[in-house]
Amino acid sequence: MPPFEDARYTAMALTVRQINSTKPSTKIITLSDGLGLELRISPNGSRGWRLRYTRPNGLPLHSSIATASHFDI
């Protein structure tokens, strides 16, 4: 069964309003959709998309996809 059909997993889509209203802070801010997609906002204001996943051996990994400037929201 895919994880999004399992009641143990709660996913909440990232909204344009949530992304645009989140401002940089003194620490890195991570907005997540609950299924592995993350938007990281750095203190200098840069934004980047990452994908969180688990390898078959159980090791959790992150993979950077692109900077947010590559996508029009």
Query: Residue ranges per domain, the chain?
Result: 3-70
Cα 13 to Cα 3, 32, 33, 35, 67, distances in angstroms: 15, 8, 5, 9, 19
- CATH 3.30.43.10, domain 3-70, yes or no: no
DSSP helix/strand/coil, 27: coil
Give residue 69's pLDDT: 62
**Cα angle 54-15-23, degrees, rounded to a multiple of 5:** 90
Give residue 8's pLDDT: 47
Low-confidence ranges of the chain (pLDDT < 70): 1-11, 68-73
Overall pTM > 0.85: no
Give residue 11's pLDDT: 64
* Torsion 23-66-13-29 (CA) sign: negative
15, 32 contact by CB (below 8 A): no
